């Protein structure tokens, strides 16, 4: 079903819900409980990074993956160019660009500025489940990247 046959208000609400998921994903990784990112995915949700040959599928596996982040990691992700396209009343897709600033070994205080650890984009699909929009897939593309700096 094209978005033209969908109610404009419903389309707008779906776009906003999906945009919020994109931002909440980053906030949870940087400022919240990283393992809780899994709650933003469908039960069979997938996060993958084709170039790095990583693929994590299912909410439990996603919880374990994102929850294994080092406790001394400091990160901030900048996200822009978010474009959500509603493809049916219960599905949508999006692209968004990001830059990640990240160090391990952080013990507090302000750090001098440094280049991002990586810059890329996400390609997402969303599905509405029981009235709630969730990530079905997130594919990460990193044309620029390097190792995480250790303090």
Q: Is residue 38 part of a domain?
A: yes
Whether residue 25 lies inside any domain: the answer is: yes
Indicate left, alpha or beta for 136 from its phi (over 0: left) and psi (-120 to 50: alpha): alpha
Give the Cα separation of 15 and 85 in Å (integer): 7
pLDDT for the residue 5: 57
∠ Cα 29 33 39 (to 5°):
85
Q: What is the pLDDT of residues 109-142, one digit of tens each?
A: 999 999 999 999 999 999 999 999 999 999 999 9
The count of domains in the chain is 1
User: Residue 137 is part of a domain; what is its CATH number?
Assistant: 3.10.450.50
Instruction: With cut-offs at 50, 70 and 90, classify the pLDDT of residue 1.
Output: very low
pTM above 0.85, yes or no: yes
Its domain, for residue 32, covers 3-106+116-150
**What is the reported pLDDT for 117?**
96
Residue 111 lies in a domain: no
Q: Is residue 48 assigned to a domain?
A: yes
Question: Is 46:136 a contact under the CB 8 Å cutoff?
Answer: yes
Task: Answer whether 103's CB lies under 8 Å from 149's CB.
Answer: yes
């Amino acid at each position: 079903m094209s978005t033209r046959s969908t109610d404009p208000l419903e389309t707008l609400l779906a776009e906003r819900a999906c945009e919020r998921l994109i931002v909440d994903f980053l906030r949870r990784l940087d400022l919240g409980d990283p393992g809780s990112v899994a709650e933003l995915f469908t039960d069979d949700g997938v996060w993958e990074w084709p170039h790095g040959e990583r693929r994590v599928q299912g909410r439990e596996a996603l919880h374990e993956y994102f929850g294994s982040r080092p406790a001394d990691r400091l990160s901030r992700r900048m996200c822009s160019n978010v474009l959500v396209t509603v493809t049916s009343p219960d599905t949508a897709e999006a692209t968004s660009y990001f830059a990640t600033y990240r160090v391990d070994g952080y013990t507090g205080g302000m750090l001098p500025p440094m280049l991002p650890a990586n810059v890329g984009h996400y390609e997402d699909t969303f599905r509405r489940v029981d009235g709630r929009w969730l990530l079905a897939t997130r594919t990460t593309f990193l044309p620029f990247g390097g190792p995480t700096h250790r303090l």
